[in-house]
Each structure stands twice: as structure tokens, then as C-alpha cells.
């Protein structure tokens, strides 16, 4: 099968999916909030099935589980207002789901452990992408206890949601960088340790990491840039447990967005830490000279307890080469100072304040029980959640169904509001966020996004009622 360049988002959907886009047939909205392209229906099929792929250039082939035969799965390119219909076909030998990480959608479309799709079964996920939620999201399986193993075999992919009034110039070349890691046995098989083995016990503690790091399914790919050019990178941390402390040699990054899209204005950073499940939008300004190259690296990040910290944790890893072509510099494009308004959620009228205490594999001292409801709330109310990490290891806390705004980390106020659905809570630290339950009623998971911890029950259920 010809493989479209995995880093290029604009080609991916059209090339690889039997994607049908139709203008909405009947009545236009009575009073459109603002002029934009007509609402569309995006209809596509995603099939999860075993496949055999060469994951590393020139390496052995590997038995994987893949969406539409590709690892990562195809990037879904959506617009705010789209009605999305995904026909999921499960051709795996076990139950699975597709969870649309970070999207606001009805409970039955969430692909959580409450709605498993049996082997050989199908399910239609139907949802509408709300206005104001343009950003970078991703999708992955979420069956009870099996998420880590299914993602490790290759099931994950990126989602881009675009706004009609995106403030950044449409002319900026865009790349989606899906970061993942994996581990292989001699011969090429994916190395998933027996849970009873020493390696399996380390994976259960640390979360499974691999020594091979992929950027959108490639090891150390190269991206081309022209001197003066500005590129928009959307970065997704799809790893089961690895945290990426990203730095681009000789460049500063203009950090313009996080999980739920753009900030009010960009922030200059020398480096950027992306916890498990988190996303970032950055602008890379081509300040290098023609013919030079710069490496994107993951710098050491100590998220571990000393007993199971990997021996090579302090070694930086090269992720990607940015290569300047030989052409003369181009004039840098004008960038807007102000991106979009991000209004802080009102913390003055709070229906509840809750504390989530994280210990190893437990939240508030409990393992996940699908038959239990841990937190009850009402639609439309606002709550403040304090996530307290009591142990000597980071835990990334994720909430389904509703986006939130971090208020402070270890008592230090967040400098500006942004939309998040994962907050990494470092060892022995506390983070507080405010969430307004604007969205849909249902039972929503919250959990540690280290997949081994989630699969071991570091998860709870929030029931939101009308």
C-alpha cells in the first residue's frame, strides 16, 4: 500500500480513509454565531485489525494491531461544527473501543470501558464537534484492563480540529508529530512483558517504556524547513508512560496552545515538557541558516521512583532532524500578537470542591469498579478538583467528557487559563483545576493516563446528571 507521508496532516485523511464529506442537507442554523463554512458531515470507517508492518526503516517486520493497516492510525482532520460518523469495525481477537481523547461528545460515543465492542463487532460513533474546541486531540482503544496492551500493539492516532476563525495564517506549513515509544524482541516482535516477570513488574510500576522512540511512526524522521519560514507543529504524547522534555537545538519555541487548542497569546520557551496524553501546539521559527540542521531532542526527565528508574533515564534522545534547505531565506510571515480569547472559568460559584488523592495504582484509596459511582455532579455546575500526588512518581490525571483549566500547581498560580484534559502531577505535588460540566450527562472516567496504572484500576467514575 502506498504510504502517505505520516507527518503531513492535510494529505492523511483524504488519502487513507474512505472519507465522505457532505454538506449538511437541510435547514441552516437559525442564527449562526458567526459566518463560517457550512456544517459538514464527515463519515468514515476505521478498522482495527492485525497487520504486519516494517516499523523501523530497514528493520524486521512486526505483527501489530493497526487502524486501517497503519501505525499510527490515520490523522482525522475535522472542523468545528462537523457532524462525525465513524463506523468502527473491530477485527481484533478481543474486545476494544475507540476513545476520542479530549473531545466533548455524548456518553455512548466516548468509547470508554462502559461500551466495549466485541471481537468481530462494529459500532458507530456519532458526535458533533463543538464550536470553540479547535485543537489537537487523539484516539486510542479504552477497553477495561487492556488499553496498554492494545496501544502497545499500534492502536492510536491523532485528531486535528480546525476553527473557521483560526488566528494563525493558513499558509504556515503544518506537521503533526505523534510521539510514541516501543520495545522489540530480537526478530521484531513487540516486547510485552509477562506481568509475573521482573520486567512485567517494572512495567506495572513505571508504566511500560520502550527504547525505540517514534515520531508519527518513524524513527528519527527529517522535516524540511526554509530559513525564515514559520511552521506550526502539533505534538501529541501518545506514549503509555514516557514524558518528553522537548528542546530544539539552537531554537526557542513559541508555545501557542495545549490540549484544547490555542492560548490567548504565545509563550516563548527554551523547552517544553509534554506529559503522557498531553498535546502542544508550537510555532517553529526558521532562524537557522540555509543548509544547517537542528535536532529535536527529549531531554532527561525524572518521573520515576529510584527503585525502578531506568538505568539510561538521564540520556537525551534524538527525535527528529529539522533540515534547512539551501534556498535563500524567505521573509518571516507576520504573526498575530493575540490568538483568541480564553476566558477563565468562574471560580466564584463552585458547587463542590473535591480532593483526588493519588497513590500507586489507587485514587482515594480505591481501585476502579465499573459498578460504583465515585463522584456525582450536575450538568452546568462548576467544581474545583485538587489532585494530590502522595507518592514519589509522577501521575498524569485525565478526565473524560469535560475540559478543565488548571488553577495552580503546588500552590503556584497558573500564569494564564488554557483548556486541558490531562494534568501531569509530579511526585509529591498537588495540582488544582476548575471544571464546568458543560457537555453531556453520563458516566465519565477519570484516571491516571499511565496506561499500566489505568489498566490496574487507577481510575474512577464521575456521573453527571441533567
User: Applying CB under 6 A, which residues contact ligand C2O?
Assistant: 99, 101, 140, 142, 277, 398, 400, 445, 447, 449
Measured CA to CA, the distance from residue 355 to residue 363 in angstroms comes to: 10
101 binds Cu ion (CB under 5 A): yes
- Residue 320 makes CB contacts below 8 A (sequence gap 6+) with 177, 215, 220, 221, 222, 223, 295, 296
Q: Out of ligand C2O, Cu ion, none, which partner does residue 298 contact, by CB within 5 to 8 A per kind?
A: none
Least distance CB 445 / ligand C2O (angstroms): 5
Q: Out of ligand C2O, Cu ion, none, which partner does residue 395 contact, by CB within 5 to 8 A per kind?
A: Cu ion
Closest CB to ligand C2O among 98 and 168? 98
Least distance CB 263 / ligand C2O (angstroms): 22
Q: Which three cell numbers stand for residue 347?
A: 471560580
Q: Which three cell numbers stand for residue 339?
A: 490568538
Q: How many positions of this chain bind Cu ion (CB under 5 A)?
A: 6
Least distance CB 72 / ligand C2O (angstroms): 14
Q: Out of Cu ion, ligand C2O, none, which partner does residue 425 contact, by CB within 5 to 8 A per kind?
A: none
151 binds Cu ion (CB under 5 A): no
Closest CB to ligand C2O among 281 and 421? 421
Q: Out of ligand C2O, Cu ion, none, which partner does residue 277 contact, by CB within 5 to 8 A per kind?
A: ligand C2O
Least distance CB 118 / ligand C2O (angstroms): 20
Cα 326 to Cα 33, 69, 284: the distances in Å are 46, 36, 18
Least distance CB 216 / ligand C2O (angstroms): 18
Query: In this chain, which residue has its C-beta nearest to ligand C2O?
Result: 101
Q: Which three cell numbers stand for residue 55?
A: 516499523
Measured CA to CA, the distance from residue 137 to residue 266 in angstroms comes to: 19
Instruction: Single out the residue of 166, 163, 136 nearest to residue 75, CA to CA.
Output: 136
Burial of 266-305, coded b for 16+ CB within 10 Å and e otherwise, reads beeeeebbbbbbbbbbbbbbbebeeeeebbbbbeebebbe
Q: Out of ligand C2O, Cu ion, none, which partner does residue 123 contact, by CB within 5 to 8 A per kind?
A: none
450 binds Cu ion (CB under 5 A): yes
Least distance CB 232 / ligand C2O (angstroms): 23
The dihedrals phi and psi of 392, each to the nearest 5 degrees, come to -90, 40
Residues in 370-409 at the binding interface with Cu ion, rule: CB under 5 A: 395, 400
Closest CB to ligand C2O among 294 and 451? 451
Q: Out of ligand C2O, Cu ion, none, which partner does residue 447 contact, by CB within 5 to 8 A per kind?
A: ligand C2O
Helices then strands (H, E): number in the chain? 4, 31
Q: State whether the Cα torsion 218-220-226-229 is positive or negative.
A: positive
Q: Out of Cu ion, ligand C2O, none, which partner does residue 450 contact, by CB within 5 to 8 A per kind?
A: Cu ion
Say if CB 234 and CB 77 are below 8 A apart. no
Q: Out of Cu ion, ligand C2O, none, which partner does residue 242 contact, by CB within 5 to 8 A per kind?
A: none
Instruction: Single out the residue of 192, 255, 256, 182 nearest to residue 219, CA to CA.
Output: 182
- Quick one: DSSP state of residue 349? S
Cα 116 to Cα 111, 123, 310: the distances in Å are 7, 9, 34
Angle made by CA atoms 24, 27, 29, in degrees to the nearest 5 = 90
Listed ranges 30-38, 95-103, 122-130, 159-167: which one lies at the site for Cu ion (CB under 5 A): 95-103
Q: Out of Cu ion, ligand C2O, none, which partner does residue 56 contact, by CB within 5 to 8 A per kind?
A: none
Least distance CB 274 / ligand C2O (angstroms): 14
Binds Cu ion by CB under 5 A, chosen from 111, 453, 457, 464: 453
What are the residues binding Cu ion (CB under 5 A)?
101, 395, 400, 448, 450, 453
Amino acid at each position: 500500500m502506498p504510504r502517505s507521508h505520516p507527518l503531513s496532516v492535510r494529505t492523511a485523511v483524504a488519502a487513507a480513509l474512505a472519507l465522505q464529506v457532505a454538506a449538511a442537507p437541510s435547514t441552516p442554523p437559525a442564527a449562526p454565531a458567526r459566518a463560517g463554512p457550512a456544517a459538514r458531515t464527515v463519515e468514515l470507517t476505521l478498522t482495527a485489525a492485525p497487520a504486519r508492518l516494517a516499523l523501523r526503516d530497514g528493520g524486521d517486520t512486526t505483527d501489530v494491531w493497526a487502524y486501517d493497516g497503519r501505525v499510527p492510525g490515520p490523522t482525522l482532520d475535522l472542523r468545528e461544527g462537523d457532524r462525525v460518523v465513524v463506523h468502527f469495525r473491530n477485527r481484533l481477537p478481543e474486545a476494544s473501543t475507540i476513545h476520542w481523547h479530549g473531545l466533548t461528545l455524548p456518553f455512548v460515543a466516548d468509547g470508554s470501558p462502559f461500551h466495549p465492542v466485541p471481537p468481530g463487532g462494529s459500532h458507530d460513533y456519532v458526535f458533533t464537534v463543538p464550536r470553540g474546541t479547535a485543537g489537537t486531540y487523539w484516539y486510542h482503544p479504552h477497553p477495561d484492563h487492556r488499553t496498554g496492551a492494545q496501544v502497545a500493539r499500534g492502536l492510536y492516532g491523532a485528531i486535528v480540529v480546525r476553527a473557521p476563525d483560526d488566528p494563525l495564517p493558513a499558509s504556515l506549513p503544518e506537521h503533526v508529530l505523534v510521539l510514541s515509544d516501543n520495545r522489540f524482541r530480537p526478530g521484531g516482535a513487540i516486547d510485552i512483558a509477562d506481568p509475573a516477570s521482573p520486567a512485567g513488574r517494572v512495567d506495572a510500576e513505571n508504566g511500560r517504556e520502550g527504547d525505540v522512540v517514534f515520531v508519527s511512526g518513524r524513527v528519527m524522521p527529517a522535516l524540511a524547513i526554509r530559513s525564515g519560514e514559520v511552521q506550526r507543529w502539533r505534538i501529541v504524547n501518545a506514549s503509555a508512560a514516557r514524558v518528553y522534555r522537548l528542546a530544539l537545538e539552537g531554537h526557542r519555541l513559541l508555545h501557542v496552545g495545549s490540549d484544547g487548542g490555542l492560548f490567548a497569546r504565545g509563550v516563548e520557551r527554551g523547552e517544553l515538557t509534554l506529559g503522557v496524553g498531553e498535546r502542544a501546539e508550537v510555532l517553529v521559527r526558521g532562524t537557522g541558516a540555509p543548509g544547517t540542521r537542528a535536532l529535536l531532542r527529549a531531554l532527561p526527565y525524572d518521573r520515576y521512583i529510584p527503585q525502578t528508574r531506568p538505568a539510561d533515564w538521564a540520556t537525551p534522545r534524538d527525535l527528529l532532524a529539522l533540515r534547512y534547505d539551501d534556498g535563500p531565506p524567505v521573509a518571516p510571515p507576520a504573526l498575530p500578537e493575540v490568538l483568541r480569547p480564553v476566558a477563565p472559568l468562574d471560580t466564584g460559584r463552585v458547587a463542590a470542591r473535591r480532593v483526588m488523592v493519588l497513590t500507586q495504582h489507587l485514587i482515594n484509596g480505591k481501585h476502579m469498579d465499573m459498578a460504583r459511582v465515585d463522584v456525582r455532579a450536575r450538568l452546568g455546575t462548576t467544581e474545583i478538583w485538587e489532585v494530590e500526588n502522595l507518592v514519589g512518581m509522577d501521575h498524569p490525571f485525565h478526565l473524560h467528557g469535560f475540559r478543565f483549566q488548571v488553577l495552580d500547581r503546588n500552590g503556584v498560580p497558573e500564569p494564564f487559563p488554557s483548556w486541558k484534559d490531562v494534568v501531569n502531577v509530579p511526585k509529591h505535588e498537588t495540582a488544582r483545576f476548575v471544571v464546568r460540566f458543560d457537555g453531556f450527562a453520563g458516566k465519565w472516567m477519570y484516571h491516571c493516563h499511565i496506561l499500566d496504572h489505568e489498566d490496574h484500576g487507577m481510575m474512577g467514575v464521575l456521573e453527571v446528571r441533567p
